[in-house]
Amino acid sequence: MFAGALGDLKIYVYELPPSYNADWLANERCGSHLFAAEVAIHRALLSSDVRTFDPWEADFFFVPVYVSCNFSTANGFPAIGHARPLIASAVQLISSQLPFWNRTNGADHVFVASHDYGSCFHAMEEKAVEEGVPEFMKNSIVLQTFGVKHRHPCQDVANVVIPPYVSPGKFQRTLAGAPVKGDRDIWAFFRGKMEVHPKNISGRFYSKRVRTVILEKFSRDRRFYLKRHRFAGYQSEIARSTFCLCPLGWAPWSPRLVESVVLGCVPVIIADGIRLPFPTAVPWPDISLTVAERDVGKLAAILDHVAATNLSSIQRNLWRPAVANALLFHDEVADGDATWQVLRELLQFRNRSRSREVGFGQGVAK
């Protein structure tokens, strides 16, 4: 299945005690919420063609620790205060049992950090920046949803930006009942947290006030379908929409990005400097709009211009099946899907590393 695309890539998956992964699945949300890429990637690797049971031939070592499945009883959100000690414990275990971590100081080991600020393991940016990437992980490769184009302490580690997790099965059910692609009765859509008076936490306004400006400026514009309350069937609204607003929250990224693409709604990305997943597979400039945070008050004029000029071209690019496929994680690796894209990124890491080794060796020979 992977011949020619992933070559001879080999990944060894550590078999950790269930307290690091399987035990967390007792809560069914663990495998289905927006941070569940850590579960999906592990699950897909277990049956993948690239998996090797011989660690001596492995190019990379995957460390399957689920850190986003500890849900707070107060608000139901994932609590990741235990993440650093849990991963540190896993590293101590694997380094005491096998020689491979110590051989490279973890440089060929892969972790998943699928929450707001990735490998900093904190939900609030100020605290995440203060704590930074754990020292023991700084040589490793981290698959993380968080990524920005500017320098940021939470990506001071070799990393691959991955999409958040959204259930492929749920998409299929939504699409089955959705209108045809060209018959969309909602012009611009957003459902989510929008505060009239945004809370100032640790000196920061939620969404940098972007969502509040959207509500203030466009709540009376009938073309904007803006809803502040949760609705379990909101994906059906995305499938009816032409433009889907994807503003930052606390972090730049949001599951709305994946949901919009898969359901054929043009994502309008409002998050300055965001790094998007798999840019070689997903032609982001051709399938989405990017609006600067400072220009959010001009959204109506911007969308009007696109609708009058190149909307049909954007939609044709967006509706290519391969684009949606690249952002979805499946239980088994499928050609071109999100886990496949991760493996291709790891292959490129390996090839670059080998090229440097060859170049170094040739330099010494001279």
As a whole number of angstroms, the distance between CA 227 and CA 259 comes to 17
The pLDDT of 51-55, averaged and rounded, is 98
Percent of the chain with pLDDT over 70: 94
As a whole number of angstroms, the distance between CA 31 and CA 39 comes to 6
In degrees and rounded to multiples of 5, residue 341 shows phi and psi of: -65, -40
Q: What is the 3-state secondary structure (H, E, C) of 92-150?
A: HHHHHHCCHHHHHCCCCEEEEECCCCHHHCCCCHHHHHHHCCCHHHCCCEEEECCCECC
Average pLDDT value over all residues in the chain: 92
Tokens in use for 29?
A: 């949300």
pTM: 0.93
pLDDT surpasses 80 at 179: no
Closest CA to 64 of 12, 116, 29: 12
Closest CA to 109 of 122, 99, 120, 123: 99
Tokens in use for 92?
A: 């101590």
Mind listing the domains of the chain with CATH numbers?
A: 11-163+329-361 (no CATH), 168-326 (3.40.50)
Sheet containing 158-161, strands listed edge to edge, beginning at the edge strand earlier in sequence: 11-13, 60-62, 109-113, 141-144, 158-161
The pLDDT of 335-349, averaged and rounded, is 96
Q: What is the pLDDT of residues 75-120, one digit of tens each?
A: 788 889 999 999 999 999 999 999 999 999 999 999 999 999 999 9
Residue-level pLDDT at 157: 96
Residue 180 per-residue DSSP state = P
Q: In 238-253, which positions are buried (b, 16+ CB within 10 angstroms) versus exposed (e)?
A: bbbbbbbbbbbbbbbb
In a 10 Å sphere around its CB, with 0-12 CB exposed, 13-18 middle and 19+ buried, how is residue 207 labelled? Answer: buried
Give the confidence band of 3 by pLDDT, cuts at 50, 70, 90: very low
3-state secondary structure (DSSP) of residue 178:
coil
Residue-level pLDDT at 266: 98
Q: What is the pLDDT of residues 122-157, one digit of tens each?
A: 888 889 999 999 999 999 999 999 999 999 999 999
Give the confidence band of 362 by pLDDT, cuts at 50, 70, 90: low
